[in-house]
Chains A and B, each alone.
Chain A
């Protein structure tokens, strides 16, 4: 692989400052406000090294949590939360009845590894639920919690269909992946994608990523891995129930539930109107009944 011509402008090993638009060198994407950016996480390339988890914690200054072992394969992180914004899931495919699987997938072992992250949904349910406006959509089309506004009401937590957002007991505010908003502002690729040694996590413009991902699925199918499919790209599982698409989407090779993802998540705000209007209709009916009782009782007494 040749050296990117722009890299030659910065030949010193330690440049004095950040290289302008460094993301162009590291992932071939120039970060421009107003465009949509996201992650394409190709789980067939994940080797479970957890570099993304560590890079995320390092860059964002997140404290360690869940010290100890979960007993769930090599997953000692458990799930996404206030202090864990990237989480590598390890699925050991052992056959039915606890036996080891005897069939091997044509291209891979019987391990499934997947680096999970906030999906930065196109119609983010957490954003729609937030009553303070502390969750907002950035100029890079990502979803971020403003820590100086959040009052810890916690309504975004059950609103999220992927169980991503969590309230931190330490500071009483909601936290989740920011897609390295600060790095994007400085023209840097997000920490997890930059640290991924196999390019399982790819950062870029969402439309470009969709194209790249579709090609990847095609090529996997040609190689015989017909299980591969996209989760969260337009018109695929995950992008259901009004969610349109996920800015952080995935290539999976087993059912979503195996990776702890819902097959057809829905947008929680779609239930506001039916619920509220039905409730008001019930109250109107009760008011009519009460009005009838109130006036009927009186006529005879007079």
Chain B
């Protein structure tokens, strides 16, 4: 590599900041900055601070996903289904409310000054998923409360007409579903909008991973409910939905891993106990087992109840393992300066610049925001 000032590939950088003609020639580094990074760090000291998020936030992400996606399934069952879908509607609404009730205590417990939790709704900020996520959770909680309590109090009348309370529940259903979509995925944006290498490397793929996992776990939970209610037809459809979502999650996980590999980050998610847990728990148990179970059931004339239950339980367990592994591996990756420096390094001349979602968008975002 030639030690000339514009030796860094300019097209790999944010164009507003890095175009060589925009650089003040005096201020630019002819020598030191033109040198390739050869893996030097400051005594291996972490360059970033890992997030203080622990299992509680990971559990919240899991619960928020199930609750949000349950509300979507309940909405579809309410609008498209007939009387036999009534248990799906009911379970979906109850599950959504349960999740909306379980989430805030976990979030508040994770605050280091929990008595000031209400400051979360002090401002509204679109650049902070932690901020708009608080509003999504609040709105989702209120709407889910309406759907579930309205459902509980106002039963369908004998002649098929609906009571006032039930109608109120149905009216809150669609906004609840929209907020449920936000609940299912805003948590991925929350992680990606950090400097943590593992989470920042693949913002889009991780959002799909979290969203599909939310839908898979919700469908699995509702399928278990249908097993209790004894409706194999509903189980079959919900298992189909869970399988589609799990297949999507498998693809998204592979894409996320590829992006992370390209950026040179994410080793904690592939190695050691966290990596083993992720592969065995999230991928093999959480995706492989249910896909196999549901495939066998879909092909056979008489679907096995045991396989359906096993597949649903595997999805529910795998979703939790996936969240925990991603959180732990992310915090571990923040402690590795080499991973961070690899993510934020300039491209040496000659190599074709990798498409880097984060940098392109950061450049665009710079023009949009003041």
Q: State the A residues within 8 Å of B (CB).
A: 70, 72-73, 75, 78-79, 81, 89, 91, 123, 125, 128-134, 149-155, 157-167, 171-173, 213-214, 217-218, 221, 226-230, 233-237, 239-244, 252-276, 278-280, 282-287, 289-291, 293-295, 297-298, 301
Contact = CB atoms under 8 A, between A and B. Distances in A.
A282 B45 contact: no
Contact of B127 (A134, A149, A272, A290): A272
A270 B341 contact: no
Contacts, number: 369
B344 A262 contact: yes
Nearest to A173: B113
Contact of B189 (A242, A256, A276): A276
A291 B215 CA distance: 13
B362 interface: yes
9 nearest CB pairs, A to B: A279-B185, A152-B112, A229-B29, A270-B362, A279-B207, A172-B112, A242-B366, A260-B42, A131-B131
Interface stretch (B20-28, B150-158, B311-319): B20-28
B52 A154 contact: yes
B328 to A, nearest CB: 14
Contact of A264 (B28, B40, B208, B346): B346
A81 B215 CA distance: 39
Interface in B88-105: none
Contacts of A150: 113, 116, 119
- Judged by DSSP, the binding face of B is helix
Interface stretch (B161-169, B239-247, B272-280): B239-247
Q: Which of B219, B341, B357, B364 has the most CB of A within 10 A?
A: B341
A158 B195 contact: yes
Contacts of B248: 282, 285-286
Nearest to A262: B344
B188 to A, nearest CB: 5
B192 interface: yes
A181 to B, nearest CB: 20
Given A132-B119, A242-B363, A278-B203, A290 B72 contact: yes
Contact of B112 (A167, A237, A271, A285): A167
Given A278-B204, A294-B80, A128 B211 contact: no
